[in-house]
Amino acid sequence: PATLLILSLTLSGATTSGATTATDSPSSPPANPDTEAMAQNTSRRANINALIDHLNAIDARMYGAYWCPHCNDQKERFGNAASRLNNEIYVECDPRGEDSQTQLCIDKKVRGFPSWEINGEMYLGVKSLSELAELSGFDGNL
> Would you place residue 42 in the very low, low, confident or very high pLDDT band (cuts 50, 70, 90)?
confident
Kindly report the three-state secondary structure assignment for every residue of 30-52: CCCHHHHHHHHHHHHHHHHHHHH
Question: Is 84 part of any domain?
Answer: yes
Q: At 72, is the secondary structure helix, strand, or coil?
A: helix
Question: Is 83 part of any domain?
Answer: yes
Question: Is 130 part of any domain?
Answer: yes
d(CA 83, CA 72): 11
CATH of the domain at 117: 3.40.30.10
Mean pLDDT computed over every residue of the chain: 83
Q: Give the number of domains in the chain.
A: 1
**In this structure, how many other beta carbons lie within 10 angstroms of the beta carbon of residue 56?**
14
Question: Is 88 part of any domain?
Answer: yes
pLDDT score recorded for residue 20 = 35
The reported pTM is 0.71
Question: Is 36 part of any domain?
Answer: no
Q: Is the pLDDT at 28 greater than 80, yes or no? A: no
Question: Is 27 part of any domain?
Answer: no
Domain that holds residue 104: 60-142
pLDDT score recorded for residue 71 = 98
Q: Is the pLDDT at 18 greater than 80, yes or no? A: no
